[in-house]
Amino acid sequence: MLKKKILALVAAMSLSMFALTGCGEQDPSANNGGASGDSNSVIVGVNFEMTGNQANYGNACKEGLELALKESNDAGGINGKTFKVVEADTKSEAAESVNAATKLISEDHVNVIVGPAVTANVIAESQVATDNQIPVIAPAATNPDVTVENGEVKPYIFRSCFIDPQQGSVMAKFATEELNAKTAVMYLDSSSDYSKSLGAVFKETFESAGGQVLMQEAFLAKDQDFKAALTKLKTANADVMFVPAYYEEVGKIVKQARELGITSVILGTDGWDDTKVVDIAGADALNNTYFCTHYFEGDEDVQPFIQAFQKEYNKDPNVFAALGYDAGKMLIDAVQRADSNDGSKIRDALETIKDLKVGTAIVTVDKNHNPIKGVVVIETKDGVRSARAKIAPDAPQH
């Protein structure tokens, strides 16, 4: 199991191994300066995938987060407190996530950590953060195990995204109710907790609705050639193919599936939500595909965030930037209500967020430290995205 391996790795590591290059401090309002450690600063450890195959996610989350913190600092801070950022790079590896988090806590003395972006890297750092009573906000890690393990809520771990059971269930219901699909195949990343969790939920929900999953194949992150498995999946002649994975592999899978003559609907989840998918797969290949995500850029409610991001970075945000911004808004609210930079007090305030307006939604944090949010199903046609369905969130669990 991934988590057991990670815990063993953490136990074996000594603090002398945790020196990390490329970790510079930043004041998000000026992109320079240092963490002072005084009571007038909230020192935020920004622990993201800045290099490696998940870098698009990590860097986008970082940009959204730093925009939210800059807006707060430019407005005078929170009760006299300003946010200072210390950056670390997970290099898209779980072990490096632990290294970076340990360095941020033991050397940089951060009050809170935001990131990493993906599930495995957040799970990796969660023990060291919890042991040191440093709250973590994970912008985009959707696996339930991020905040709950063996039925117990991790006291210091939170997130600003919905969870896999929600989006896996939504896509299975969309397949059966909107597309009238009776049969499905699944192509999962066996190296990813995110992908495996989504596959399990999709299969359970799809079959509960009367559908049948005919076949399942697996690949590994960073694979390049998917045609052998896709050729097997093609023989099933299923109505839909479910591919819950990250953008780099998704683009190649969709492209190669179409080259093999697979014309069926291909379904995905929020890992698809990156413009790189279109760049890799091509616009034509993405016709007849749908994925669920956290918001649609055409909605009026998200325009203030989008316009602020465009002004700051001179480009459009993606969903990971939006989730980073949401995480920043959650942190700002928690610091304001805690009136403190103490990690335990910030933790308590995060746990009691209710009806907070963030960049993509109005959120309430439930008993499992998950924000209650709706889901949008996106259709891509000739390279243009549109909102095919919007599914309201379930009632909060308290």
Q: Is 210 exposed, middle or buried (0-12, 13-18, 19+ CB in 10 A)?
A: exposed
| pLDDT tens over the chain, length 398 residues | 434 434 444 444 433 333 333 334 444 444 333 333 467 899 999 999 999 988 989 999 999 999 999 999 999 999 889 999 999 999 999 999 999 999 999 999 999 999 999 999 999 999 999 999 999 999 999 889 999 999 999 999 999 998 888 899 999 999 999 999 999 999 999 998 889 989 999 999 999 999 999 999 999 988 999 999 999 999 999 999 999 998 899 999 999 999 999 999 999 998 898 888 999 999 999 999 999 998 898 888 899 999 999 999 999 998 899 999 999 999 999 999 999 999 999 999 999 999 999 999 899 999 999 999 889 999 999 989 999 998 876 544 44
Structural domain boundaries enclosing 73: 2-162+301-363
- The DSSP output letter for 391 is E
66 and 132 inside one domain: yes
178 and 126 inside one domain: no
pTM of the model: 0.77
Looking at residue 58, which CATH number applies to its domain?
A: 3.40.50.2300
**Structure token pair of residue 188:** 């999962």
256 and 341 inside one domain: no
Q: Give dist(CA 163, CA 263) in Å, integer.
A: 29
184 and 157 inside one domain: no
If one counts the domains in the chain, the total is 2
249 and 329 inside one domain: no
**7 belongs to a structural domain:** yes
Q: Give dist(CA 46, CA 114) in Å, integer.
A: 5
Q: Give dist(CA 72, CA 62) in Å, integer.
A: 16
